[in-house]
Chains A and B, each alone.
Chain A
Amino acid sequence: MITRISIYVFCAGLPGFLTGASAPAADVPPRSEAGQTLAIPEEQLNVGDVYHVTPGEDTQLICTSDALLQRVAVTSHRVIGYFVTPFEISADEPPLVAGALRIPVGSLRTGVRDYDTVLRGPQGLNAAEFPEITFRLARVSDVKLVSDEKRRQTYTLNLAGELVVRQKTLEIEAPAELRLIPFTWQTMQRNVGELLVLRTKLDLKLADLKLQKPPQFRDRVADVVHVDVCLFCNTMSPEKLLDPQIKPAQHIKQMRFLTLLRDLNDPDKGYEFGRAYLREIWDDAPALNRVAGVLLTDDGIETRDLSFVLKAAQRANELTGFKDATFLNTLASVYGEKAEWETCLKWAREATANLEGVKAEQAGEIRAALERWEARARDSQE
């Protein structure tokens, strides 16, 4: 019951970051094939510069319920979407002319697994039926240019738009701060591309979402949820392929796999897609190793199917005769995650025995991995 009440709070809080009412969810463009951007309408592409929301590293949403007897925060790192600024920003028009967001319900986390389950379940936001919360920017008002230095501009403004949660459309409005940061050698340390940062905070009443608190949890869930939004956006799409060794079609499919598995947190659809993709790349060792590697290391994946990972890693090594240090290191890691220490150490040592031709930095990582596995194997015995 405790969890159930919390869920209602979160349901309310997530949507809350922009308030408004009445646009159908269809107004928010669908995800791209890879799933990390939205299919932006042509007419919006032609009116300005597009900044894609950059998911993954930032805590983009923090929704806090601070009640008398309990304080809970829900976060998401997997918000995607875009904002469009005019090509030439003038005093006569707002610095934002379009925008839309998709917030995967499966990406919302409290830090408590049971709470998450209820939050995303049928009693909560019902991810199975309504996998995403959406927002479409409708208008911008009260724009003030606060600072303009070295082409870095900061505006305060009011955002208004339509938020759709469980097919319910709400009109929301909130004050916001918009920063436009040109690409510099300093910003490049974070992201290559021009940056846009949108921050807003607002309070959202549960009653506005027509969500009822069970009476017995009246004091454990706040009536008003505080919503804190920070979206880093970039003119470089998060789907941009920078590694020339990767085939574009494989890049798209691997991203789609991750979108299903990690962002939408849908292991059934994710692994179904993954198995089909594995069949496609069955004779491509680097592609198999990439899939295995990302499934092992991506923090956002809640359901890690190690037999799936092992299949990919094993095949990558079979194709290369168990002689590629990088692929062997991945294979060792799979066995390490499975706590099968003997096999893990066997392949980790084999990896270090095949370092000829491997770049020094990478060779160092492989040696360090062996040391880590050895330590963990020792710890497990103790």
Chain B
Amino acid sequence: MAGRTSWLAAAAALSLLSAVPAWPQWLQWGGPHRDFTCDSTGLADQWPEDGPRKIWSTDIGPGHSAIVTDGELLFTMCRRDDQDAILAYSAATGAKVWETRYDAPPKPDMLLEFGCGPHSTPLLAGDRLFTVGGLVHFRCLDKKAGQVLWSHDLMDEMGASHLQRGYGPSPITYRDLVILNIGGTDTGVAAFRQDTGEVAWKSEKFRGGYPSPMIVKINDEDHLVVALGADRIGLDPATGQTRWRATVDIQLAGIMSSPLFIPPDRVFFSCAYGGGSQLFQIAFKDGQYAAEELWFQPKMKVMHGDSIRIGDFVVGSSGDFGPAFLIGLDLSSGKVLWRQRGFAKATLLYADNKLIILDEEGHLALATATPEGLQVHSRAKVLEEKSWTVPTLVGTRLYLRDNRAIMALDLGRGAGASGSDITEAHR
């Protein structure tokens, strides 16, 4: 018996070992923790004047989907005329490995001066890749070959909303499910079986919305947190049942930025278009959850970028059509700690105690953010077209794209030296 147990344990350990990624990954919107932070170390403290070392770059085509990777392959989406394209690239070389396209002609009621996306970021789960296009075509593909395993046209099947400018939120996994915003005429959020695409649950009806959902643990229970129009909602991710719901001022209905979880029980939301930032506490009383607003700060308005929590404060790029300040906000009070001009509207990553800033004009910067202020150490123009896509950091390698090109940069110390790049070192 003991022998068998140890054999089983060894087999389990082996199986675990084979399941554990051999090199760093970025499988979903927001990265490993879905909050745009990662555990990378060894980032350089400064870059050369012309920016970090470029490893490769290649043309990709229009679109704003962020890049996910299992370490070997990179996945993203772009637009080819009236088709959506799902793309896989070699992380090492930037060579295209496969491309799968499908027809997705825009609808007459769409606003397309900024293109038809795709805006949503693919999701990797095991060997499956899940994607959602601007017209809410939901697909599951074999990540190695790009073969479509199952698909849904969610505008047809569930009356999903294309949100006028093209669907934007990125799906999330929960156990054997993949969950995404639907909006529109039928349901707010829906979950599908990863293996079959069968609908597992549909939530009550909510308006559609751009913020990507996230799953957090509050009061030892899982909550699927999502912002849809003027509703800030917590669902049971196993069933789709509403756990809590707060309806905010209609001026905050234009929210696009993803929520940010502040353990153990607070959720931060930020919205442009005359909105602001709010912190909610999710309280459990008398067997029920309730969302209570702790503060509202109209001066911080994150548009479609992300916010980063660093200790007791949050950093975000605040602004819509006017100037975009980088703002540090005290989490306990909601007070603006500092604001800094100098960047256009930006997306942010945080790793190795460093803030990586990419503004929409293609300037990439390395900075240190503290409650006292922001110190920019390096800054370089690396992209030429509209750069709305939040970058992806894997080890010390940064993958980024604009509306035309995709590229890999080495942010490691002594960039260019042997072994400075985790992926290459692994190989």
Contact = CB atoms under 8 A, between A and B. Distances in A.
B336 A236 contact: no
A184 B274 CA distance: 5
Contacts, number: 47
A87 B298 CA distance: 11
Given A87-B299, A151-B298, A185 B251 contact: yes
A255 interface: no
Contacts of B114: 244
Interface stretch (A138-146, A163-171, A188-196, A295-303): A188-196
Nearest to B115: A244
Interface residues of A, number: 25
Contacts of A192: 320-321
Contacts of B321: 192-193, 235-236, 240, 242
Given A185-B250, A187-B274, A194 B299 contact: no
Contacts of A87: 299, 336, 339
A244 B320 CA distance: 15
Given A88-B336, A192-B320, A183 B273 contact: yes
A236 B299 CA distance: 15
A245 B108 CA distance: 20
Interface string B22-46: 0000000000000000000000000
A50 interface: yes
Contacts of B299: 87-88
Nearest to B274: A183
B4 interface: no
Contacts of B386: 244
Given A87-B336, A185-B274, A187-B274, A45 B322 contact: no
B372 interface: no
A343 interface: no
B323 interface: yes
Contacts of B115: 244
A243 B113 contact: yes
B341 interface: yes
A346 to B, nearest CB: 31
Interface in B329-386: 336, 339, 341, 386
A182 interface: yes
A97 B103 CA distance: 55
B413 to A, nearest CB: 33
Contacts of B320: 183, 192-193
Interface in A171-209: 182-185, 187-188, 192-194
Contacts of B341: 45-46
Of B114, B115, B323, B336, most buried by chain A (CB within 10 Å of CB) is: B323
A236 B298 contact: no
A41 B405 CA distance: 36
Given A88-B336, A192-B320, A182 B250 contact: no
Contacts of B250: 185
Contacts of A245: 113
A356 to B, nearest CB: 15
Contacts of A236: 321-322
Interface in B104-139: 108, 113-115
A151 B339 CA distance: 21
Given A87-B299, A185-B274, A244-B386, A194 B322 contact: yes
A168 B55 CA distance: 61
Given A45-B341, A88-B336, A187-B274, A182 B298 contact: yes
Contact of B322 (A187, A235, A243, A244): A235
Interface string A331-362: 00000000000000000000000000000100
A130 B180 CA distance: 62
Nearest to B339: A87
Best-buried of A183, A194, A236 by chain B (most CB within 10 Å): A183
B339 A188 contact: no
A50 B341 CA distance: 12
A204 to B, nearest CB: 33
Contacts of B108: 360
Contacts of B339: 87
Given A183-B274, A184-B274, A244 B298 contact: no
Interface of B: 108, 113-115, 250-251, 273-274, 298-299, 320-323, 336, 339, 341, 386
10 contacts: A50-B323, A87-B339, A182-B298, A185-B273, A234-B322, A235-B321, A235-B322, A236-B321, A240-B321, A242-B321
What 5 A-B pairs come out closest when comparing CB atoms?
A: A183-B274, A235-B322, A236-B321, A192-B321, A236-B322
Given A234-B322, A236-B321, A237-B322, 12 more contacts: A87-B339, A182-B298, A183-B273, A184-B251, A184-B274, A185-B274, A187-B274, A188-B274, A193-B320, A194-B274, A244-B113, A244-B386
